[in-house]
Amino acid sequence: MAVSVLGTEAPFLAAAGRRPSPVTPVWFMRQAGRYLAEYRAIRAHHSLLEICARPDLAAEVTLQPVRRLGVDAAILFADILLPLVPMGLELEFVSGEGPRIGNPVRSAAQVEALRTVDPATDLGPVLEAVGLVRRELGPATPLIGFAGAPFTVATYAIEGGPSRHLLESKRMMYQAPQLWHRLLSLLTTVLGDFLAAQVAAGAQAVQVFDSWVGQLSQADYQSYVLPHSRALFERLAGLGVPRIHFGVGTDHLLESMAEAGGEVIGLDWRIPLDRGWERIGRNRAVQGNLDPVALFAPLPELRRRVTDILRRAGGRPGHIFNLGHGILPETPVDQVRAVVDLVHDYAAQGR
């Protein structure tokens, strides 16, 4: 248990475990990134992949939002696509376009050719960055490790980049289900080992990003994704850290995602927080769920929306305040800072 000098548990870990905390903890997905001038200053000299490969830079960028915003958790600076590189895929980030994989995986031969990964050697710099960050962070600010969910990582491996309809991924699912399941099993092993290694290196919680899973029907989620996500969460169960399960556009999948696993379930902004919490059950914690675009609203409107989420949480232990998805690059930093203060002050005002 992370305990401060005062003997109180870190608010983030308390909420993840549904234990009472004096404040609602708050952090932001993509809190390290282009909306911060100090991040852009580093990015001016280094590519995204260079930052990820240099533990000193990755650690620095991880700590920037902690210093600037006073958030209650740090998230390791890395990317969900990094494990694909030692598996044998050629990954680059094209400015203005996003990730691109030069040799996407479509055939049985290409799936067979994928390598398994030893995180200690193949992803060593990421694990080193975990250690560096932990040395800098105080006990009140835990470090979250992360990975993509097998489904979301598979969509990049198969499509070769962002994709509107996930045509190639669904084609593999429907035409070659055995091949699909083989690929997802392999990814589940790689991602589970990677997350376990992050925890061994010092990560105090893990988040699994299933960002594009909302593209699937409930039936397809059950058949093609849930068994793998469940296996991943089972692999992580013995690590002794809270597990956060996050997706976008998941109104129709919440019960299934909760069934797959996670002490904490991420909610996006489309569902009122209290209704989402009711659906997944009060025996889980929830994380969310401000619309990232609300950070562009005038301050009174932003305040109204933040307060509405806190009111819906009702002071019940087990709410981690976050956005419903990642911060956008154009976001005004002052507005982000204002949300941190609003969330922290809410408890002090007696709710």
Smallest distance, ligand CP3 to C-beta of residue 48, A: 5
Interface segment toward ligand CP3; rule CB under 6 A; list 15-23, 91-99, 176-184, 256-264: 91-99
Q: Is 291 a catalytic residue?
A: no
Strand partners, 302: none
Within 66-85, the residues that bind ligand CP3 by CB under 6 A are: 75, 77, 79-81
Catalytic-labelled residue, pool 72, 79, 210, 268: 79
Smallest distance, ligand CP3 to C-beta of residue 199, A: 16
Catalytic-labelled residue, pool 18, 35, 106, 156: 156
Cα three-residue angle 65-66-68, rounded to 5 degrees: 60
Question: What phi, psi does 273 have (nearest 5°)?
Answer: -55, -40
Q: Is 224 a catalytic residue?
A: no
In order of 109, 133, 135, the CA distances from 129 in angstroms are 35, 6, 10
Within 187-216, the residues that bind ligand CP3 by CB under 6 A are: 209, 211
Smallest distance, ligand CP3 to C-beta of residue 40, A: 8
Cα three-residue angle 48-53-55, rounded to 5 degrees: 110
For position 43 contacting ligand CP3 by CB under 6 A, the verdict is: yes
**Helix H segments across 44-176?**
48-53, 55-69, 84-87, 108-112, 119-122, 124-136, 150-159, 167-175
Are 255 and 278 in contact by the 8 Å Cβ rule? The answer is: no
Interface segment toward ligand CP3; rule CB under 6 A; list 4-12, 29-37, 252-260, 274-282: 29-37
Within 288-317, the residues that bind ligand CP3 by CB under 6 A are: none
Amino acid present at 292 = P
Q: Is 308 a catalytic residue?
A: no
For position 33 contacting ligand CP3 by CB under 6 A, the verdict is: yes
Peptide bond into 322 cis (omega under 30): no
For position 158 contacting ligand CP3 by CB under 6 A, the verdict is: no
Smallest distance, ligand CP3 to C-beta of residue 244, A: 11
The helix (run of H) or strand (run of E) holding residue 7 is none
Of 177, 231, 197, the C-alpha closest to 76 is 197
**Helix H segments across 208-272?**
218-220, 226-237, 254-260
For position 93 contacting ligand CP3 by CB under 6 A, the verdict is: yes
For position 31 contacting ligand CP3 by CB under 6 A, the verdict is: yes
Cα three-residue angle 34-326-89, rounded to 5 degrees: 80
Nearer residue to ligand CP3 within complex by CB, 9 or 133: 133
Residue numbers annotated as active site: 30, 34, 43, 79, 156
Residue ranges that bind ligand CP3, judged by CB under 6 A: 29-34, 43, 48, 75, 77, 79-81, 93, 98-99, 146, 162, 209, 211, 326
